[in-house]
Amino acid sequence: MKRIVILMILLTMALNSWAVNIEVRDDIPPGLRSRIEKLYPKVCDVLGMYPDSFPVNVLLFKNNKELAMALDGFLFHEGAYDYRNNTLYFSASNVGDEVLIHELAHAVCYRYAGDKISLKSQEILAGYCQHTLTKGATDGSKK
């Protein structure tokens, strides 16, 4: 069985204050926790959605091939969010800010409104959020 790095992330949102609690079961890429802490409130601000709580599981795979295999071939980007088990999936080989923003936006939408926002609308909102938070960064850096 291929090695999977599992992170359990609990983000709690209450009265515009939030905290991130990460239980690390193996090595993670440097700075992943701080990137999530930095991006989560920005995603919420762009979407105008502030879930009461934000518990979410994160599965981090070695590469896109392992990620695609874990998702039964269902992979269009370097990440995915599955609302059925409240899990974000990422490839350690390519977990850039754009991917984090996009998938965090899916999770925020679902945690905020459940299935009241269609998947197509969530995709539009996630793309809008990704574009808004990364536009103008022509040198490869992100806002």
pLDDT tens digits, one per residue of 12-61: 333 334 444 444 434 556 577 778 878 989 999 999 999 887 777 788 88
Is 16 inside a domain boundary? yes
Is 101 inside a domain boundary? yes
Angstrom distance (rounded) from CA 77 to CA 64: 9
Is 111 inside a domain boundary? yes
Burial (0-12, 13-18, 19+ Cβ within 10 Å), 57:
middle
CATH code of 63's domain:
3.30.2010
Is 143 inside a domain boundary? no
The answer to whether residues 9 and 25 touch, using CB atoms and an 8 Å cutoff, is no
Write the pLDDT tens digit of every residue in 60-92. 888 888 888 888 866 666 788 888 888 888 888
The answer to whether residues 94 and 78 touch, using CB atoms and an 8 Å cutoff, is yes
Is 108 inside a domain boundary? yes
Is 29 inside a domain boundary? yes
Q: Residue 22 is which amino acid?
A: I
Domain that holds residue 19: 4-134
pTM above 0.85, yes or no: no
| Total domain count, the chain | 1
